[in-house]
Amino acid sequence: MILEDLYIAISSFSNKAELYFCVEEFVKNHTAESDYYDYPLLEETLEFETEDFMEMLHFIVSNKKAYHFYFSNLENKENPKRMIFINSDQSIYFGLAVYEIFSLKYQEILKAQFPNSPLMICNHVLPPNSFEAFKQQLKTVR
């Protein structure tokens, strides 16, 4: 079966505590695919490195950096992968990799959880890297 990527874009959070709560709820029952995080990725000189996902998230958010986090739960037969993308404009995308037959179900779940946020389906490509580009791409699709 083929996975379909659904992304909900949030322009910003009113406070960091709300963001961290949403992230913890979003990744519940999923395991980080990385055991180690470094910033910037694949560079000789590192600004920050850690083995703790939440510590890296705090660093990225506090320093207004961009970063992609990936999670998996292969026991989940509907939604085995999740993604969190923090963009340089500090918008955040919550992504779900769902099997196609469950796509509508998870689209509705995301719309219910984030009713004022745009949703995009990206099959085998990454979504745009800013909230404005995300909204603009949606306009061109409709």
The per-residue pLDDT for range 88-140, each reduced to its tens digit, is: 899 999 999 999 999 999 999 999 999 999 999 988 788 988 999 988 887 65
In this predicted structure, what is the pLDDT of residue 140?
A: 57
In this predicted structure, what is the pLDDT of residue 139?
A: 67
- Answer for the pair 33, 71: CB distance below 8 angstroms, yes or no: yes
Where in the sequence is the domain holding 124, given as residue range(s)?
A: 3-141
Higher pLDDT, 138 or 59: 59
Range with the poorest average pLDDT among 21-30, 39-48, 66-75, 81-90: 39-48
Q: Helix/strand/coil (H, E, C) string of the chain? A: CCEEEEEEEECCCCCHHHHHHHHHHHCCCCEECCCCEEECCCCCCCCEEECCHHHHHHHHHHCCCCEEEEEECCCCCCCCEEEEEECCCCCEEEEEEEEHHHHHHHHHHHHHHCCCCCEEEECCCCCCCCHHHHHHHHHHHC
Task: Give the chain's domain count.
Answer: 1
Query: What would the pLDDT profile of 43-52 be if each residue is shown by its tens digit?
Result: 778 899 899 9
Q: What residue type is assigned to position 75 of the chain?
A: E
Pairwise CA distance, residues 40 & 141, whole Å: 33
Q: Considering the entire predicted model, what is its pTM? A: 0.90
